[in-house]
Amino acid sequence: MKKSVKILWRVFFIGLGLIVLVLLLANWGVFGKMPSISDLENPTASQASQVYAEDGTLMGKYYLEDRVNIAYKDISKHVINALVATEDERFYDHKGIDPRSLARAFFSLGSEGGASTITMQTAKNLFTQNWSTKNIFLRSLQKIKESIIAVKLERNFTKDEIITLYLNTVAFGDNVYGIRNAAKTFFQKEPDRLTLDEAAVLIGMLKAAYTYNPRVNPARALNRRNTVINQMVRNKFLTAGEAEAYKKKPIPLNYKKMDETAGIAPYFRMILGEDMKKWCKEHKKSDGESYNLYRDGLKIYTTLNPIMQQYAEEAVAKHYSYMQKLLAAQSNIKNGSVWKGHENILDAAMKQSDRWKNGKRDGLSDEDLKKAFSTKVPMQVFAWNTARSIDTVMTPMDSLKYHRQMLQAGFMAMDPLSGEIKAWVGGIDFKTFKYDHVNINTKRQVGSTMKPLLYSLAIEDNGFTPNTMVVDEQQNFGSFGVVPATTTTCSGETMPMAKALALSRNCATAYIMKQLGPQGNEGAKRFVNFLKECNIQTNIEPYPSIALGSAEISLFEMMQAYSMFPGRGFNVKPMYITRIEDRNGNVLQTFIPQRKEVISDITAYSVISMMQGVMKYGTGRRMWSYDVQGDIAGKTGTTNDNSDAWFMGYTPQLIAGVWTGCDDRFIRFNSTSIGQGSSVALPIWAYFYDKASNDKSLGLDTRSSFVKPDMMSNDVIGDWMNSVPTQLGAEGEDVGNGSSADYGDVAPADAQPQDLGPESQPFKNNDNTSPSGTSSKPAPAKPKPAAPPATVPERPKAVMPKKNR
């Protein structure tokens, strides 16, 4: 044998040996961890966690990769055919690696297409890292690993299972992963209902998700779709004649991206997400790792009712579209004097804005940025209209003022017996204002809504009744001062406690506090302890002024405290999750109502009867101008200077609470007749209850009544009701009474409440079924322009769903 031939053979065998060695080293994990046989047979895929309403309606998702896995049978055959024809013509013939494609890619240096099969791409999506690297050495190692894993996948899975794994993990652009979410996002269809041309559009995107995205590049997407259709003709999945008919059709795009602002109850889902993150840290999977809300495909079933949620959002929008006009017409708002002395707030807001931060990153000086904030530019701002926005031209500084002058609201409705939350509106527009005004950490002065709690303590512990006479005089608490601070609202009259509550008499309430403990703050200490029994977790200092609502408490806590009245003495903790399941439907945790007895049913009914007096004869009697019916008990609340306006109301079947005001407390109504709880907060409750009680599907019976305890003999004596003045004064101190005439020269003459659609946009399946297969009834909603897609984050490593044999 010639020497040259010997050298050639040596090079060949050494090269072959090196190849074998590299393959062995790669398989052993020297170049990076390789999946074990157990990993391959029991893989777990990154999936979006899903939130469901009480009727099974999909409310929203939490995800980094927006992916939900489906089975092979739920994928249109057109999708399968288009994928095979375009990406891997010999998919059903090879064993993970296609020699012909490999040879073609080698000799053409990739100019005539790559060598990756569907199985190799699945391996890449599932088990390999450095997926987007441009380093030739790392990419070569990755290709080797992909090939090894592909062969293992072919040994452990059927072709149908592999193609399903691929379609469940592949990226379609716009941070959408998997064929189901792609079908839902681009065509609002389930993947088994995709037509051939729709399937061709989606499969065409796999070559370059952005370039062939029909939302971004419709012309390129159309051409790519037709290329896919031609490939299907070549592979005999359809005839040339059929292909020509399909290629003449436009792309039937129906784009709607599920993002943080889309779906039902965005404020609620934000708070739920924070709670679920804590839950995930505290609970472990079978492998010992904590659950991940964004990857583990949890199914979270909540108590929220989508129809009540819709009515709640509509109620806020209807009343606030009117009230905002009144506030904007106020002279100190119109001329900007409301900001005098508060320039530091604007300065802080300016420096916290994205515009300022981006300018600083670009190297602009403070002076240049301040000048920019005083220059008019085109922008989009929030507005009370169908789109919840309007295009305008203003300075960034004026935009800051404009948005901070918006009235905000918090609304929550729940079942008073189970504590199940049915509706949650944390603000006026989640897209613009992310701050939630319902949750337990958002606290505002509660004003006169505190009074029913004090009165219930007086009845429960001190033997008071609704007919006990109290004196409407300022009270001296020694070193703790006098309550209230002035005698402006003190009549000096002796009246039944029921009348004092109905008319929200501050001085009479201070008198009741004094009876609980005549020395110093003894009564306040007793009241604070009682509030803790009511499960109010806020740390409240025992000052006598808390009787008038000076304490800052969340709406969430007030709802729990008030639940003891319709709950016949039993306080119930608000709950919004019924169960949590893993991706396979295994129940991880269930939740049940947490109730405890705080007061007797006699005390509860006594307070109910007094609060019905509030509605019939007192500060809440405006309720009946909104066509509501049935037994309603409630209490208005207004704090000093009208900074906070409240209404807490309940029926035998439902309890709901409303807080209203501006985030900056100095921005408020100057006229108390407009700014008090009965004007700003109560109408929201009324609009909501009017719709909810007339919707037969919700089962709210306006004929139901509060049940009087059998052992209770006395009713509230109502003789005092005949002397109630026609116009009621304010509840807060030092605010004046005012009247609607105060706005005669500035209120818009054409200001009327608007019937606007809800903020929530239900994300519903075409077959209208819940995950359990039962019929779901999503709340109807007016269409809303699709939000632009969020910036795509760096893609995390994907893994597969558990294999079901």
Select the highest-mean-pLDDT range: 13-17, 113-117, 309-313.
Answer: 309-313
- Name the average pLDDT for the chain: 84
Residue 181 has pLDDT above 60, yes or no: yes
For the residues 72-89, what does the mean pLDDT come to?
A: 93
Residue 802 CA: distances (Å) to CA of 76, 148, 272, 732, 805: 22, 20, 27, 61, 10
Neighbour-count burial for 158-196, b at 16+ CB within 10 Å, e otherwise: eeebbbbbbbbbbbbbbbbbbbbbbbbbbbbbbbbebeb
Q: Transcribe 295-345 into DSSP letters.
A: TB--EEEE---HHHHHHHHHHHHHHHHHHHHHHHTSHHHHSSGGGTT-HHH
Helix, coil or strand: residue 651:
coil
Q: 656 by DSSP, 3-state: which?
A: strand
Nearest to 200 by CA among 240, 244, 247: 247
| pLDDT for residue 771 is more than 60 | no
| Mean pLDDT in residue range 278-300 | 91
Q: Give the SS3 label for residue 657.
A: strand
Q: Which amino acid is at 87?
A: E
Q: What is the pLDDT of residues 643-700, one digit of tens each?
A: 999 999 999 999 999 999 999 999 999 988 899 999 999 999 999 999 999 999 999 9
Q: For residues 630 and 693, what is the distance between their CA atoms, to the nearest angstrom?
A: 9
Interval 227-247 mean pLDDT: 94
The Cα–Cα gap between 171 and 793 comes to 12
**122 — pLDDT class (breaks 50, 70, 90):** confident
Helix (H, G, I), strand (E, B) or coil at 588: strand
Alpha-carbon distance of 763 to 57, in angstroms, equals: 8
At 471, is the secondary structure helix, strand, or coil? strand
Mean pLDDT for 380-405 is 93
Q: What is the pLDDT of residues 41-76, one digit of tens each?
A: 555 556 789 999 999 999 988 877 667 788 899 999
What distance in Å separates the CA atoms of residue 349 and residue 371, rounded to the nearest whole number? 15
Q: Which residues contact 792 (CB under 8 A, 6 or more apart)?
A: 173, 174, 175
**Residue 731 — very low, low, confident or very high, per pLDDT cuts 50/70/90?**
low
Task: Express as a percent the part of the chain with pLDDT over 70.
Answer: 79
Distance between first and last Cα of the chain: 57
Residue 735 pLDDT > 60: no
pLDDT category of residue 37 using cuts at 50, 70 and 90: low
Q: Per mean pLDDT, which of 1-15, 114-128, 164-178, 487-501 is the most reliable?
A: 487-501
The tokens for 27 are: 């398989």
Nearest CA to 693 out of 630, 778, 781 is that of: 630
- Cα separation of 278 and 422, whole Å? 23
| Cα–Cα distance measured from residue 641 to residue 644, given in angstroms and rounded to the nearest whole number | 8
pLDDT given for residue 16 in this prediction: 62
Whether the pTM exceeds 0.85: the reply is no
Q: In what order do the strands lie in the sheet with 49-52?
A: 58-62, 49-52, 299-302, 577-581, 587-590
- What's the mean pLDDT in 1-30? 63
Higher pLDDT, 497 or 724: 497
What percent of the chain has a predicted confidence (pLDDT) above 90? 62
Rounded (5°) CA angle 693-694-699 = 55
**Helix or strand or coil: residue 284?**
strand
Task: Please report the pLDDT score of residue 118 as a whole number.
Answer: 83
Dihedral sign computed on CA atoms, order 688, 692, 693, 694: positive
684 and 409 in contact (C-beta within 8 Å)? yes
The string of pLDDT tens digits covering residues 530-581 is 999 999 999 999 999 999 999 999 999 999 999 999 999 999 999 999 999 9
Given a cut of 80, whether residue 12 has pLDDT beyond it is: no
Task: Say what the pLDDT of residue 641 is.
Answer: 87
Residue 805 has pLDDT above 50, yes or no: no
Alpha helices in 623-742 (DSSP H): 672-675, 677-680, 682-694
SS3 591: coil
Tell me the pLDDT band of 412, cut-offs 50, 70 and 90. Answer: very high
pLDDT of 711 reads 80
